[in-house]
A = this chain, B = another copy of it.
Amino acid sequence: MNLILIDPQEVRADGRVRLDDQRAAHARDVLRASPGKILRVGLLNGPLGKGTVERKTTDSVTLYCEWETDAPLRPPVDLLLAMPRPKVLKRLWAQLAALGIGRIILINAKKVERFYFDTHVLKPAFYTKRLIEGLQQARDTRLPDVTVVKQLKPFLEDEMNALFPKSEKRIIADPSGPRTVSQCLHSAPKRACLAVGPEGGWTSYELKLFEKHGFEAFSVGSRILRTDTACIALISLLAESLRNKV
């Protein structure tokens, strides 16, 4: 935990916050909080700031918080991910938030098992906790937006443009992709939406559908990666390319 993330509703009118959960335990046991000590804090979806420890008891820590003027920018990468096995997704939430994602869409595909969508791992109460863990790791405050979509074609046809404006670059990872990530980003877009397929890959029908909706296919070589490894590897490539084009 490199940042203590606070929900705006937890902040009292006088700027004070009383923590009595894991964050208090972390502040006390790991950060050795004592009155006067300044801790890094962040307001969920808002600015970073500093929290001065005012009081410490056996089960709570009270901070007086001062916030910076601006909130961190929304991360420039959005992810359209074919629904992975629940076990994999469970591990992935915190890592996605740590890497920095604006919006996560979990989507059905031919090679996704239907029952994957029945998992508790898709419940907001479950994933929000994991996402916050990742933000606290990476020192970010911007909670990714999460949407679950059970039909690919209607989504691409009817909803895609509203969620990912056409001005954003759209790219899709596929071993047959003729380009590299940086070739796809030569136009120096500000944001990019990355589509990542299921373990068995996209079908050629799905690839054509994506292409029709403006996704450029790229490849990163012939190694086949597990979904979680692939997501981290690809998001990292994309974030680095976008950062260096600015």
Binding site for B on A (CB under 8 A): 2, 95, 98-100, 137-140, 180-182, 220-226, 229, 232-237, 239-240, 243-244
Contact = CB atoms under 8 A, between A and B. Distances in A.
A241 to B, nearest CB: 9
B95 A140 contact: no
Given A137-B226, A225-B138, A182 B233 contact: no
* Main SS class of interface, A: helix
B226 A98 contact: yes
A139 B222 contact: yes
23 contacts: A95-B226, A98-B223, A98-B224, A99-B229, A100-B223, A137-B224, A137-B225, A138-B225, A139-B224, A180-B243, A181-B240, A182-B244, A220-B236, A220-B239, A221-B239, A221-B243, A232-B232, A232-B236, A233-B233, A233-B235, A233-B236, A237-B237, A237-B240
Identical chains bound together, number? 2
A85 to B, nearest CB: 14
Nearest to A220: B240
A224 B181 contact: no
Given A137-B224, A237-B236, A243-B221, A229 B182 contact: no
Contacts of A137: 224-226
Contacts of A100: 223
